[in-house]
Structure 1
């Protein structure tokens, strides 16, 4: 495994350990499983870290090769800005989030991407300690992947992403997560080449909640 990948994974482990240690660690035996309704209230802050694997695909857009893959690390700060909305199984609350992005490309060659995204999440609150959600976001990035690939001609790129995820509460204030996103990278037509990259981004993560 390349040094850049190990460095990113090491960063993810260190930051995740800091979050876990900050909260105190461990799974609370006293936690009764009230789950999302306890943590997700208007004014709740969310501090988390996700890491995962990014794999390009063809079939959407005009990209000719799926030989692009990367490891992503995504710190995250979220804020719940609505009270719980009662809609039966669709009951939930809206959240906005800021998400720095760091990635190391493995294929087609070693490259780096750094950036920043803003987004919105809808948290589904009707499932006890399980918290399904849906994310949508957009951002900007710089990468030395371009102009070395035929799809892109500028280091400056725009990011678009959306997809579902689920968190499981270990305690009243901590949760682990799994997510999958459709992830798009393109320069928005500001360069002479802009085929764009479409990918699936699978993520695992850890979150600490700070209710108001």
Structure 2
């Protein structure tokens, strides 16, 4: 987490330096976006039944499709967006292994600002888990997650972003044992609106 702080500071400074210089009206009219996110995740031992520390390096390919025109007024004006994600979670602790699958997430993207686009999201999906942990009874697992993000526009149609997500992985009681992996992820990304 200490390593992510300088990157976060750079993103905030970069975002504030272009604030007002770029019109993000593309979020109000675009049919969708493509994004690539990368970051770090770590489980929270003692949160729920999580006992094992797992650290991940994450890469996520995202397609976002807007489902609505703008709704609301004032600061909460925004649009509904559906994210389809293909994640690759490379575990680096306790051993190098992978988790991959697919996520479907619903999002509310705020459109009241001309320089930034904050958003909320939640959803879930399926993960194939090859961690080799004795505390997980199957390789087929399920995930639910939710979080917040913020995009800064570098130019019309291109944005840098930062996102936090709570991420849960378990086999949903389909096998024993079933230790869940409850973690936090910090992701940085770039989005291209079309």
When normalised by structure 2's length, the TM-score is 0.86
Q: Which residue of 2 aligns with 1:79?
A: 65
Structure with the higher strand share, 1 or 2: 2
Stretches (4+) displaced over 4 A: none
- Equivalent residue number for residue 33 of structure 2: 46
Distance in 2 between the 1:78 and 1:59 partners? 34
- CA 1:130–1:187 in 2, change beyond 3 Å: closer, same or farther? same
- Contact kept in structure 2, 1:137 and 1:161, CA below 8 Å: yes
Q: Counterparts of 1:91 and 1:43 in 2: how far apart (Å)?
A: 15
Contact preservation (8 Å) 1:41, 1:82: no
Aligned residue number for residue 189 of structure 2: 205
Segments of structure 1 that go 5 or more residues without pairing to the other structure are 1-28
Which residue in 2 is equivalent to 1:23?
none
Matched, 1:34 2:11: no
SS in 2 for 1:159: strand
Taking the aligned partners of 1:123 and 1:43, their CA distance within structure 2 comes to 12
Render the CA deviation track for 1:165-208: whole Å, top value 9, x for unaligned.
10001111000000000000000000111121100010000000
Alignment pair present for 1:171 and 2:155: yes
1:82-118: CA deviations, max 9, x gaps? 1111321111111001000111101111111111001
